[in-house]
Amino acid sequence: MGGGFDIIASLQFMLLLFYVNFAACIAEERAIYLVLMEGDPVAFHRRSSPGENGRRLELNSEVSEAHAKHLVDSHDQLLQNTLESGSYNKLYSFKHILNGFAVHTTPSQARRLEDASGVRLVERDRGAKLMTTYTPQFLDLPEVWAQEGGDKSAGEGIVIGFVDTGINPCHPSFAYDPMKLFTSNISHFSGACEAGPQFPAGSCNGKIVSARFFSAGAQAVATLNTSVDFLSPFDAVGHGSHVASTAAGNTGVSVLVNGFLYGQASGMAPRAQIAVYKAVYPTVGTLTDVVSAIDQATKDGVDIITLSVGPDEPPEDKFTFLNVFDIVMLSAQRAGVFVVQAAGNNGPGPSTVLSYSPWAVGVAASSTDRTYPGSLLLGNGQNVGGVGLSGPTLGDGLFLYKLVLAKDAVKINGTFPRTPQYIEECQFPEALDRNVVLGSVIICTFSDGFYNGTSTLTAIVDTARTLGIMGFILVANPTYGDFIAEPIPFAVPGIMIPSVADAKVISQYYEQKIERDGRGFVTKFGARAAIGDGRVSSFKGQAPIVSRFSARGPDFIDRDKNPADILKPDILAPGHQVWAAWSPISALEPTLKGYNFALLSGTSMATPHIAGIAALIKQYNPLWTPSMIASAISTTANKYDINGEHIMAEGSDNLYPSTPFDFGAGHVNPIRALDPGLVLSSGYDDYISFLCSLPNMDPAIVKNSTGEMCNHSLCHPANLNLPSVTISSLAGALLLRRTVKNVGLKPETYLCSVMPPNGTLINLNPPWFTIAPQGTQDLDIQINVTKAMNSWSFGEIVLTGSLNHIVRITLSVLFQYPHEN
């Protein structure tokens, strides 16, 4: 009997041990961790910050190479001494502007690293996502180019680094013309051309001066698809090519899609040169690959880094400013690189912005005044507006064609599932009777498949081609409401009707003209329709308008979204319906497969506009630091649209007057940004002082994140010398200071005025000043509360110069109520 109990006890113990081991296996799934170490990286080893005095880094010297090797060896030694053998795989050593590494390991091993000597910070990789012709004219860039020798030299001598999905080197936007030699010296830049699948060695042609790819993170967390996840700088997605050509694509490139010429495309800085850092793949994107790319781009010597990629959520347990992504951007800015970042596409709700830090310029997206209006002509003479980049049905409206609702053309005896995709969304040609739909215009209905993302416009086009359908209409469904329709090229005549009200007009006409039998089957199709040409652009209406998807402020310091004393987004730029280069593989967007150009919307599209404009400013003012460029862009921005009205913003259902939390300082004005009169600048030490002054900030957290001691704090976080003033908790009175520098060639006298936010009284001292070239002037800003408001209030300081310079400093104030003390 006792032996039986022993057996049972042994079995129970074995089962318990199995359960513990099984649970451990489940819990111990590997992930990527980014680790920052004590000690300076190569760029800042025994030297001052180049970004503050205009000097370039010299990271290829023997001393630098020796220190880089020392850092790599120290990373390897730490891992060997701390982690269990076989429990990890080191992916990268960061050594140029960060001292640290990325490692693929288990949570328990990562905890060991947190406790290891010499380790400052360990952060789990949050992943990286994409933030997804006419704009040069809309921004008056030809006038800017004229000041720099025309479009044949605009941006020359500037290298823009693109951390993205790669580039399509065969695209005409990136072609090198041997008859138009680059004459400027880019000796400050030293890159490499990493050949691979779809990217032969000759792809770096002079326009593309360097191309690298970073895949260790992607390969660690996913099985890559060799048919699209090319281990080379080649862009199988299209996003990276779109971004690069928007900023620095050649001028005068014909945008030809489906045989139709949509116009000529040009980058903002068409003679800037391109350095490619592929870090996001069709299958996956990791923050590790992005950080490694930024580290390398800075070492290579790029002037500007463009980030239309990044984490799509705030860090879980850290201050927003102190996650590894923001720290590497701080290090790049410290090294003299202008960093521009997409604000995110999670608008229009408040505090959806994904650009947090004052050292990176966060870009919001707007529309231009160009639209592509489509039209549907019904047999009763009614015209219904819609969207679709396609040619007209045969006859261009002279001939009307039989109108057929997809449900009324479904095969009665078909063996397919009776789901919306088959019976109303036109996804499967085998579900429809060819004899009914041949030569007709078919009505497909937005239903469950489109709502959940399983149905596609490509499938509708394929159905139309297979069955000989003349054209298609995709109409809104009352069950799902209106949908957002962006102009997409269709190889057959097609139009989207995103409004339920317009769809009802079509439905009522259709039902009036058909005859049905007792079973509900159509016996006579009497409705007729023709699809108009949707490819012809129209230029009218309000513009710019802040796009619905564009992420909004206020900025925040943590995951609880406590507000920060920083204005975000920083600036507004065109990001809605932008034509630019594309990759025909189009791995993530089958609708655009086979095309060399795409019309896209997103803050991803707005960001390269600012990158290209920054290149023009840097070319015109080569000694300016990144913060000086950012100031010039901000203080000269427009707060009014092309009609002289206040810029509006798209909400969930309507337009509303925008605020700085929608558009930052306003819509970019490149002409004025070249010659702003005054600039407000900040350096690396200022940013550290800002971090140390944040409410409830533990100096140890700043030390662990940046490696810097809190030897000096600002008296208030809003005292950081930014071209805006944002106060997240104003009680009683507050004295702030801004310091301006005259970057003009002549002395100038400025008159200081203010439009105070509601509930405040603001005094400026001095009320006026005269400032010499390269001189500086302090401006004291005394803010007093006269009536506490229950929401943010906005205003601006305006410095009007005697030589026609106008400098605007945006004011944003949130009041602190007594019960909050």
Nearest to 36 by CA among 126, 103, 108, 104: 103
Give CA–CA dist 724/352, Å, rounded: 20
Cβ–Cβ < 8 Å for 265, 599: no
Q: How many residues does the chain have?
A: 821
SS3 43: helix
CA-wise closest residue to 813 among 749, 725, 737: 725
DSSP 3-state assignment of 484? coil
Residue 261's φ and ψ, nearest 5 degrees, are -90, 115
Task: Spell out where 498-628 has E strands.
Answer: 514-516, 522-525, 528-531, 538-539, 545-546, 571-574, 578-581, 597-600
Distances in whole angstroms, Cα of residue 695 to Cα of each of 350, 522, 738, 818: 22, 70, 21, 17
431, 414 Cβ separation under 8 angstroms:
yes
| Residues 379, 385, 387, 390, Cα dihedral to 10° | 40
Handedness of CA 416, 418, 420, 423 (dihedral sign): positive
Q: CA angle at residue 173 from 167 to 176, to 5 degrees?
A: 95
Q: Which of 136, 104, 117 is nearest to 33 (CA)?
A: 104
Q: Which residue(s) pair with 481 in the sheet? A: 477
Q: Which residues of 464-503 are buried (b: 16+ CB within 10 A; e: fewer)?
A: beebebbbbbbbbbeeeebbebebbbbbbbbbbbbbbebb
| CA pair distance 416, 418, nearest whole angstrom | 6
CB-based contacts of 171, cutoff 8 Å, min separation 6 = 241, 245, 581, 582, 596
* CA dihedral angle for residue 402, residue 408, residue 414, residue 419, rounded to 10 degrees: 120
Active site residues: 164, 239, 604
- Could you tell me the two tokens for 124? 């789990």
Residue 228, burial from CB neighbour count under 10 angstroms (0-12, 13-18, 19+): middle
Angle, nearest 10°, between helix axes 603-620 and 239-248? 30
Contact 337, 626 (CB under 8 A): yes
CA pair distance 677, 682, nearest whole angstrom = 17
Structural element, H or E, at residue 306: strand 304-307
Query: With contact defined as beta carbons under 8 Å apart, do 696 and 728 qualify?
Result: no
The rounded distance, in Å, linking the Cα atoms of 246 and 120 is: 39
Q: Classify 525 as helix, strand or coil.
A: strand
